[in-house]
Protein backbone atom coordinates (compact mmCIF):
# COMPACT_ATOMS: atom_id res chain seq x y z
CA UNK A 1 0.00 0.00 0.00
CA UNK A 2 2.74 2.42 1.00
CA UNK A 3 4.79 1.46 -2.00
CA UNK A 4 1.89 2.23 -4.32
CA UNK A 5 1.53 5.79 -2.96
CA UNK A 6 5.19 6.50 -3.64
CA UNK A 7 4.71 5.30 -7.20
CA UNK A 8 1.84 7.75 -7.69
CA UNK A 9 3.90 10.66 -6.38
CA UNK A 10 6.64 9.96 -8.89
CA UNK A 11 4.12 9.94 -11.70
CA UNK A 12 2.70 13.31 -10.63
CA UNK A 13 6.16 14.84 -10.59
CA UNK A 14 6.85 13.56 -14.10
CA UNK A 15 3.64 15.08 -15.43
CA UNK A 16 4.55 18.50 -14.00
CA UNK A 17 7.89 18.58 -15.80
CA UNK A 18 6.48 17.57 -19.14
CA UNK A 19 5.17 20.92 -20.48
CA UNK A 20 8.55 22.59 -19.94
CA UNK A 21 10.40 19.82 -21.76
CA UNK A 22 7.94 20.04 -24.63
CA UNK A 23 8.35 23.85 -24.88
CA UNK A 24 12.12 23.51 -25.25
CA UNK A 25 11.70 21.10 -28.14
CA UNK A 26 9.46 23.53 -30.03
CA UNK A 27 12.19 26.08 -30.74
CA UNK A 28 15.95 26.69 -30.92
CA UNK A 29 18.08 29.53 -29.45
CA UNK A 30 18.21 31.41 -32.78
CA UNK A 31 14.44 31.28 -33.28
CA UNK A 32 12.22 34.32 -32.79
CA UNK A 33 9.03 33.68 -30.83
CA UNK A 34 5.83 35.60 -30.29
CA UNK A 35 6.32 37.64 -27.10
CA UNK A 36 2.78 36.90 -25.89
CA UNK A 37 2.35 33.17 -26.54
CA UNK A 38 5.93 31.97 -27.39
CA UNK A 39 4.87 30.40 -30.67
CA UNK A 40 7.83 30.09 -33.05
CA UNK A 41 7.46 32.82 -35.67
CA UNK A 42 10.73 32.76 -37.60
CA UNK A 43 14.48 32.29 -37.21
CA UNK A 44 17.67 34.33 -37.53
CA UNK A 45 18.75 32.17 -40.47
CA UNK A 46 15.69 33.49 -42.36
CA UNK A 47 16.65 37.16 -42.06
CA UNK A 48 16.11 39.15 -45.26
CA UNK A 49 18.84 41.65 -46.11
CA UNK A 50 17.52 44.83 -47.78
CA UNK A 51 20.10 47.50 -48.72
CA UNK A 52 22.73 45.63 -46.63
CA UNK A 53 20.57 45.72 -43.51
CA UNK A 54 18.05 43.46 -41.78
CA UNK A 55 17.16 45.88 -38.94
CA UNK A 56 15.45 49.24 -39.44
CA UNK A 57 13.85 51.99 -37.41
CA UNK A 58 10.75 53.68 -38.79
CA UNK A 59 8.18 56.20 -37.62
CA UNK A 60 4.56 55.66 -38.61
CA UNK A 61 2.20 58.54 -39.53
CA UNK A 62 0.96 58.56 -35.93
CA UNK A 63 4.49 59.35 -34.68
CA UNK A 64 5.25 55.91 -33.20
CA UNK A 65 8.75 54.48 -33.52
CA UNK A 66 9.18 50.86 -34.57
CA UNK A 67 12.31 48.72 -34.54
CA UNK A 68 11.84 46.30 -37.39
CA UNK A 69 13.67 43.11 -38.35
CA UNK A 70 13.21 41.82 -41.90
CA UNK A 71 12.75 38.11 -42.66
CA UNK A 72 12.27 36.12 -45.90
CA UNK A 73 9.82 33.72 -44.27
CA UNK A 74 7.79 33.78 -41.07
CA UNK A 75 5.73 30.61 -40.87
CA UNK A 76 4.17 31.62 -37.55
CA UNK A 77 2.53 34.66 -39.16
CA UNK A 78 -0.88 35.09 -40.72
CA UNK A 79 -1.77 38.07 -42.95
CA UNK A 80 -4.99 40.00 -42.89
CA UNK A 81 -6.54 42.72 -45.07
CA UNK A 82 -5.68 44.12 -48.48
CA UNK A 83 -2.16 45.22 -49.53
CA UNK A 84 -1.65 48.97 -49.81
CA UNK A 85 1.16 51.29 -50.96
CA UNK A 86 0.04 54.02 -48.52
CA UNK A 87 2.91 55.32 -46.30
CA UNK A 88 5.04 52.30 -47.26
CA UNK A 89 8.47 52.17 -45.59
CA UNK A 90 10.03 50.19 -48.45
CA UNK A 91 9.80 52.08 -51.77
CA UNK A 92 7.87 50.15 -54.43
CA UNK A 93 6.59 47.61 -51.91
CA UNK A 94 2.98 47.30 -50.77
CA UNK A 95 2.21 46.09 -47.26
CA UNK A 96 -0.46 44.37 -45.21
CA UNK A 97 -0.74 43.59 -41.51
CA UNK A 98 0.58 40.30 -40.21
CA UNK A 99 -0.38 38.62 -36.93
CA UNK A 100 0.70 35.69 -34.78
CA UNK A 101 -1.24 32.70 -36.15
CA UNK A 102 -1.76 31.33 -32.62
CA UNK A 103 -2.73 34.32 -30.42
CA UNK A 104 -3.49 37.03 -33.01
CA UNK A 105 -0.95 39.56 -31.67
CA UNK A 106 -0.01 42.17 -34.30
CA UNK A 107 3.63 41.35 -35.12
CA UNK A 108 4.34 43.57 -38.11
CA UNK A 109 3.81 43.76 -41.84
CA UNK A 110 4.29 41.66 -44.94
CA UNK A 111 5.72 43.43 -47.98
CA UNK A 112 5.24 42.66 -51.65
CA UNK A 113 7.05 44.20 -54.61
CA UNK A 114 10.39 43.50 -56.21
CA UNK A 115 10.94 41.35 -53.10
CA UNK A 116 8.52 39.57 -50.83
CA UNK A 117 9.41 39.69 -47.13
CA UNK A 118 8.26 40.35 -43.57
CA UNK A 119 9.04 43.36 -41.39
CA UNK A 120 8.46 42.29 -37.79
CA UNK A 121 8.43 44.50 -34.69
CA UNK A 122 11.40 43.58 -32.53
CA UNK A 123 9.71 44.40 -29.21
CA UNK A 124 6.83 42.01 -29.97
CA UNK A 125 9.18 39.06 -30.43
CA UNK A 126 11.42 37.23 -28.00
CA UNK A 127 14.60 35.39 -28.90
CA UNK A 128 14.45 31.61 -28.35
CA UNK A 129 17.78 31.86 -26.48
CA UNK A 130 16.08 33.91 -23.76
CA UNK A 131 13.85 30.94 -22.95
CA UNK A 132 16.86 28.65 -22.43
CA UNK A 133 18.34 30.72 -19.59
Binding-site ranges for Zn ion (CB under 5 A)? 34, 36-37, 39, 100, 102-103, 105
Find the radius of gyration of the CA atoms of the chain: 20
Q: Which of 63, 47, 64 is nearest to 119 (CA)?
A: 47
Q: Among residues 59 and 103, whose Cβ is nearest to Zn ion?
A: 103
Q: What is the enclosing helix (H) or strand (E) of 18?
A: helix 2-26
How buried is 14 (Cβ within 10 angstroms: 0-12 exposed, 13-18 middle, 19+ buried)?
A: exposed
Q: Least Å distance between CB 23 and Zn ion? A: 14
Please provide the size of the chain in residues: 133
Q: Among residues 78 and 105, whose Cβ is nearest to Zn ion?
A: 105
Q: Least Å distance between CB 5 and Zn ion? A: 41
Q: Among residues 77 and 90, whose Cβ is nearest to Zn ion?
A: 77
Q: Among residues 49 and 103, whose Cβ is nearest to Zn ion?
A: 103
Q: Are 2 and 37 in contact (CB under 8 A)?
A: no
Q: Least Å distance between CB 120 and Zn ion? A: 12
The alpha carbon dihedral of 48, 75, 114, 82 has a sign of: negative
Amino acid sequence: MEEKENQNQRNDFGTQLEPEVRAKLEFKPDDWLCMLCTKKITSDKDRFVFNNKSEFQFVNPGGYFFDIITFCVADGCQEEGEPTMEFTWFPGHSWLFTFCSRCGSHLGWKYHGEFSFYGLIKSRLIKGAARFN
